[in-house]
Amino acid sequence: MYFLVVVISLLLSSVPAQSRTIQDLIDKIPGKTGNLTEKDDISVSTIIETNKHAGLGLDEPLIMFGDIAVPSGLQNADPCTARGCKWDRSRDGLVYVPYIISNQYSPQDISVIKRGMQSFAEVSCIRFVPHQGQRNFIHIKSNSGCYSYLGRQRGGQVVSLQRNGCVYHQIVQHELLHALGFHHEQNRSDRDKHIRILYQNIIPEQQHNFRKVDTNNLGTPYDYNSVMHYSRYAFSMNNEPTMIPIPNANAVIGEARQMNSNDILRINRLYCIEDKSAELSVSELLHRANRGNVPEADEPKLMDDIAVNEKNADPCTSYGCLWSKYSDGKIYVPYVIANHYSSRELEIIQRGLDSFSSSTCIRFFPRGNERDYISIESRSGCYSYVGRQGYAQTVSLARNGCLYHSTVQHELLHALGFNHEQTRSDRDNHIQVVWENISDDMKYNFNKINTLNQGTPYDYSSVMQYERYAFSKNGLPTMIPIPNNNVALGTSTQMSQNDIIRINRLYQCFPEADEPKLMDDIAVNEKNADPCTSYGCLWSKYSDGKIYVPYVIANHYSSRELEIIQRGLDSFASVSCIRFFRRTNERDYISIESRSGCYSYVGRQGYAQTVSLARNGCLYHSTVQHELLHALGFNHEQTRSDRDNHIQVVWENISDDMKYNFNKINTLNQGTPYDYSSVMQYERYAFSKNGYPTMIPIPNSNAALGTSTQMSQNDIIRINRLYQCCE
């Protein structure tokens, strides 16, 4: 009966999880930790389901385009920019948007809403502030559904965030973006070049939601990953797609979980044109900082942001420029920082320096009397030499334009020996350089280099990749991705997973000596990783029918990180007989620690067994659940015994040293079907060496694969069947 209730409750749930994939989270690059509430693990397209009855109240506005409130007489929902609806900028350069939050919300709801508002302050000049009598303000209420007016309306204007269905981080961001004046991505003026609308699949009375709008796109590309883009099945009447990306019909669409770099760039271009955080991709930051600079007499020659001793800038690896490894396996790089930076600027630099230690063996440390070191100074722009030069070598981070996390990482990667992505030896297989659009005196920046690519694929998301308009003389692209020219290019704001892999391979950063062998994120005692069920690794059932799993958590986590871990542990109790509890003196237990990445053994091992949740990259609800499922005895979905009936593994696209991760295992599938939405399923590009899929669903190759952000219904059924939680 208990199990039946679990299944029924799941079937009644109407919120699909379509957002950050589990593979993305395990491969997460340094940056912010995960969202705190389970409510954040959904797609903004959930708005459509929540809004079935929106706007039907007597005092509620007409709702169009899914969640845009339309003032009386403006049913055509003309773009905000046509009627002047921007919020005013103050003399200090900031845009203050007053708000009132209704007393209908719980403290937890208010926390989610305020976090959504605060996220704008972190990346733009927008500041949501409590209303103190201002004439114009937003009034956040729990009305029928999720909706907002488009831009400032004058007076108080409702932003509806219904408590049951709308209080999620990405939906808060989505509706606030409407309030700032931004439309849906699929309605923008150039959308027909990027998506095909299948009107025959759209609910007839909802077809108006796909009307094009004469939007101001602020010079940014169409973005499938915008938090303003709906999913491919939005408003479908037959469960067939209503939108298909072109030319690549398999491109992921409408699965954003938070604002991305293009969303942020648009805010800054519309509102913050004079704000120093307006250009957020590393390549735009560098070009902005270095444009027109005249180096001082004692500064080196530059090739864009690379200081060179020779014009041809031969790759560092050809003349031996690595920093030395110490006996403990670490690479210690001494540095000094000039005393002309402010405390805030020093924090940014220090954060960039420290970000390497959490995911690599690189350790930047203040110089004592070491001969070779980097000297971080505010010179003419942002630049660095490539690799160790000997004695003092400058890393220039000009106070005016270079003090951003991504720029600090970028220049330090140069100092470690890495060149730009677009100059690597195999780049012509991945980007087309449009020479006729490049400024004549900048063409040398696109010369190919005989780079050592460390066996990693070309990475459009590398922090070392410039954006598609870099050094353009006419506003047209200088680089176009191939074969899919719509791929986001050079929009990174921090190191990617491939950047990190390259550091570790170049400097031979191996796991700590006391850490286990890994098969991706599975710790193994034997290379063949036989399934747990073949050697009896279940946790014991107690007399009350519950499975009690003792745990300890290392003391190096912050209070916020502990909350994320605890929520993951507690999530099993609500859907199964599993109870994670704090260890007292039990012999067998899991030890949750921040080690080298995210990993776990499969099933109970006996005595202490590590579940590694690295502070920098693993602290997301889905990742916690994923690793705990390993500890309970579950393998990855793509390795299960019947997988060949459901996915085609494309071996030729897999990195050669990662193919073992796709070996089938004689799994016990608990009578459940293969589940593309399992939190144990990786996404279709996992371990790709060339940017092409490594797994293709069959027979429907367009099925979403590995996009889960929490346990699926089948994951829960398997737990209950394996541990016999039915009585």
Mind giving me the DSSP string for 227-285? TTPPPTTTTBSSSS-SEEESS-TTS--S--SS--HHHHHHHHHHH-TTSTTS--SHHHH
pLDDT tens digit sequence for 90-135: 877 789 999 999 999 999 999 999 999 998 988 888 999 999 989 9
The yes-or-no verdict on residue 652 having pLDDT over 60 is: yes
Which of 71-85, 266-280, 533-547, 594-608 has the largest mean confidence?
Answer: 594-608
Please tell me whether the peptide bond between 366 and the residue prior to it is cis, using omega within 30 degrees of 0.
no
Question: CA torsion angle for 408, 485, 79, 88 (degrees, to 10)?
Answer: 10
Residues 567, 569, 572: CA angle, nearest 5 degrees: 105
723: how many CB neighbours lie within 10 A of its CB?
20
Q: In this structure, what token pair is assigned to residue 527?
A: 């290379």
Q: In this structure, what token pair is assigned to residue 608?
A: 């202490």
Confidence of residue 50 (pLDDT cuts 50, 70, 90): very low
What mean pLDDT is predicted for residues 414-420?
Answer: 90
Cα 681 from chain centre: 18
Whole-number percent of the chain with pLDDT over 90: 28
User: What are the phi and psi torsion angles at 620 (to 5°)?
Assistant: -135, 150
Question: CA torsion angle for 399, 405, 410, 412 (degrees, to 10)?
Answer: 80
Ranges 212-216, 235-239, 293-297: which has the least confidence = 293-297
Ranges 32-36, 553-557, 590-594: which has the least confidence = 32-36
Annotated active-site residue in 38, 49, 175, 467: 175
Return the SS3 of 138.
strand
The yes-or-no verdict on residue 65 having pLDDT over 70 is: no
* DSSP state letter for 28: P
pLDDT at residue number 303: 47
Residue 175: active-site member: yes
What mean pLDDT is predicted for residues 516-531?
Answer: 45
Confidence of residue 376 (pLDDT cuts 50, 70, 90): very high
Please tell me whether the peptide bond between 247 and the residue prior to it is cis, using omega within 30 degrees of 0.
yes
334 vs 314: CA distance, rounded Å:
24
Ranges 174-178, 317-321, 385-389: which has the least confidence = 317-321
- Please give the mean pLDDT across all residues of the chain: 79
Between these two residues, 720 and 66, which has the higher pLDDT value? 720
481 vs 109: CA distance, rounded Å:
42
- Of 196, 193, 188, the C-alpha closest to 213 is 188
328 vs 158: CA distance, rounded Å:
59
CB 244 within 8 A of CB 196: yes
What mean pLDDT is predicted for residues 343-357?
Answer: 89
What mean pLDDT is predicted for residues 318-344?
Answer: 86
Q: In this structure, what token pair is assigned to residue 657?
A: 């040293």
Please report the DSSP string for 346-363 in residue order.
Answer: HHHHHHHHHTTTTTSSEE
250 vs 701: CA distance, rounded Å:
8
The yes-or-no verdict on residue 45 having pLDDT over 50 is: no
How would you classify the pairing of strands 431-433 and 479-481?
antiparallel
The yes-or-no verdict on residue 364 having pLDDT over 60 is: yes
The yes-or-no verdict on residue 23 having pLDDT over 50 is: no
pLDDT at residue number 260: 83
Between these two residues, 308 and 239, which has the higher pLDDT value? 239
What mean pLDDT is predicted for residues 656-678?
Answer: 84
Taken in order 701, 703, 705, 711, the sign of the CA dihedral is: negative
The yes-or-no verdict on residue 404 having pLDDT over 90 is: no
380 vs 557: CA distance, rounded Å:
39
pLDDT at residue number 456: 81
pLDDT at residue number 61: 53
Residue 612, H or E segment: strand 608-613
The 3-state DSSP composition of the chain as helix, strand, coil percent (nearest 5) reads 30, 15, 55
DSSP H helical ranges for 481-578: 497-506, 559-571
Whole-number percent of the chain with pLDDT over 70: 78
249 vs 240: CA distance, rounded Å:
13
Confidence of residue 357 (pLDDT cuts 50, 70, 90): confident
Between these two residues, 135 and 656, which has the higher pLDDT value? 135
The yes-or-no verdict on residue 520 having pLDDT over 60 is: no
614 vs 593: CA distance, rounded Å:
7
The yes-or-no verdict on residue 694 having pLDDT over 50 is: yes
Residues 702, 634, 34: CA angle, nearest 5 degrees: 70
40 vs 111: CA distance, rounded Å:
12
pLDDT at residue number 297: 58
pLDDT at residue number 570: 92
pLDDT tens digit sequence for 268-302: 888 886 433 434 455 555 555 555 555 565 655 55
The yes-or-no verdict on residue 353 having pLDDT over 50 is: yes
333 vs 611: CA distance, rounded Å:
30
Confidence of residue 4 (pLDDT cuts 50, 70, 90): very low
pLDDT tens digit sequence for 437-475: 988 888 888 988 888 777 788 888 888 998 888 888 777
620 vs 419: CA distance, rounded Å:
32
Return the SS3 of 149.
strand
Tell the burial category of 131 from Cβ atoms under 10 Å away from its Cβ (0-12, 13-18, 19+): middle
Q: In this structure, what token pair is assigned to residue 115?
A: 């976090």
The yes-or-no verdict on residue 476 having pLDDT over 60 is: yes
Tell the burial category of 669 from Cβ atoms under 10 Å away from its Cβ (0-12, 13-18, 19+): middle
161 strand-pairing partners: 146
Ranges 216-225, 282-291, 331-340, 626-635: which has the least confidence = 282-291
User: Who's near 183: CB < 8 A, 6+ residues apart?
Assistant: 65, 68, 79, 80, 150, 213, 215, 228
pLDDT at residue number 710: 85
Q: In this structure, what token pair is assigned to residue 43?
A: 């797609």
pLDDT at residue number 137: 95
592 vs 564: CA distance, rounded Å:
12
The yes-or-no verdict on residue 58 having pLDDT over 60 is: no
DSSP H helical ranges for 276-419: 282-290, 343-354, 405-416
289 vs 634: CA distance, rounded Å:
50
351: how many CB neighbours lie within 10 A of its CB?
13
- Of 584, 573, 622, the C-alpha closest to 257 is 622
CB 617 within 8 A of CB 28: yes
Q: In this structure, what token pair is assigned to residue 108?
A: 């937890």
DSSP H helical ranges for 456-614: 497-506, 559-571
- Of 273, 253, 184, 265, the C-alpha closest to 490 is 265
Instruction: Give whole-number Cα distances, 381 to 336, 411, 469, in Å.
Output: 18, 11, 19
Q: In this structure, what token pair is assigned to residue 104?
A: 């209908």
pLDDT at residue number 280: 45
Tokens 């059932």 belong to 541
389: how many CB neighbours lie within 10 A of its CB?
18
CB 447 within 8 A of CB 419: no
Ranges 209-223, 276-290, 323-337: which has the least confidence = 276-290
pLDDT tens digit sequence for 571-613: 998 889 999 999 999 999 999 998 877 888 888 888 898 998 8
CB 283 within 8 A of CB 387: no
The yes-or-no verdict on residue 705 having pLDDT over 50 is: yes
pLDDT at residue number 398: 87
Between these two residues, 520 and 629, which has the higher pLDDT value? 629
688 strand-pairing partners: 654
The yes-or-no verdict on residue 52 having pLDDT over 50 is: no
CB 175 within 8 A of CB 97: no
pLDDT at residue number 501: 85
pLDDT at residue number 293: 53
What mean pLDDT is predicted for residues 614-624?
Answer: 84
Q: In this structure, what token pair is assigned to residue 25?
A: 């989270």
pLDDT at residue number 60: 54
Taking each helix axis from N to C end, the angle separating 621-632 and 713-722, rounded to the nearest 10 degrees, works out to 30
8 vs 3: CA distance, rounded Å:
9
pLDDT at residue number 290: 52
The yes-or-no verdict on residue 226 having pLDDT over 80 is: yes
What mean pLDDT is predicted for residues 176-188?
Answer: 91
User: What are the phi and psi torsion angles at 628 (to 5°)?
Assistant: -70, -35
